[in-house]
Amino acid sequence: MFKKLLIVALITIGVISCATSPTGRSQFMAISPEKAISESEKAYLSTVNELDQKDQLVNDPQLVSRVRNITGRLVTEAIRMYPKSQRWKWSVAIIDDPETLNAWCMAGGRMAIYTGIITKLNLTDDELAQIMGHEIAHALANHTAERMSRAMLINAGLIAAAKLSENNQMVLGGSALAAKLALELPNSRTAETEADRIGTELAARAGYNPKAAVTLWGKMAKAGGGGTPEFLSTHPSSKNRSKELGKLAPQMLQLNPSLKKATIYPIDIVK
């Protein structure tokens, strides 16, 4: 059994250089982007159904219009830069949760944003564009497939380690921490930085000021009370993130100096 698991793990590791991100980074891929999209669709529909049953899907006309217009412009630029994404089922669910500061985009362009991040941070349109641009960038860069691939390898490694120990709980705990530090943290932080760059470019091309990325993460830092130490976080610290995005802003502004607004792609708002 252990030999079989080891063989599977080695085969999986062997495909690490078979995919490249939009920034030229080699990606660990044990699952295809297409499979990630199909699995994400199932998860998204299940999540949306639960939210609908709890009456947590926002249909306020003003907020819906704001999210649709900003995200629609970002998607227009996403499709221009990555034509394959035109086949995606672009949609956004606005989730009524005033305490949650979060937004996400699954493989295939299915997105969500929580009201908490908009209201608690008092987001400007430019800052909201940075949030959604960042999340869209995760999907464009196949980060969902990359994350799922890591999970597959971690699971295989944990099972194999448990087979070699009489104290399964101890081995699982140690292996889980080692896997997290060796695989998940470095890749996730790299992916976050990658999404920051791609997302800021999307926002600038769509007509939103890239300098808003700095004010956004300043707000995030205050909301997080300093945040988690960067070494043990899957996200770069807000302070470092803000600093790096500040350096990028002038370069991104050159892409659209007048910040002319892009056309609005007709995305679906889930209600």
Residue 2 has pLDDT above 50, yes or no: no
Instruction: Tell me the per-residue pLDDT of 179-201, one tens digit each, with 9 for 90 and over.
Output: 333 334 444 677 888 999 999 99
The amino acid sitting at 30 is A
The predicted pLDDT at position 183 comes to 37
Mean pLDDT for the stretch of residues 104-118: 94
87 has pLDDT over 60: yes
Does residue 3 have a pLDDT over 90? no
Nearest to 138 by CA among 95, 188, 101: 188
150-164 CB burial, b ≥16 within 10 A, e <16 = bebbbebbbbbbbee
138 contacts 36 by C-beta, under 8 angstroms = no
Digit-coded pLDDT (tens) for 129-140: 999 999 999 999
pLDDT digits (tens, 9 = 90+) for 7-53: 444 444 444 445 676 666 666 666 777 887 888 888 899 999 999 99
Domain segments of the chain as ranges = 2-270
What is the C-alpha separation between 202 and 58, in angstroms, rounded? 25
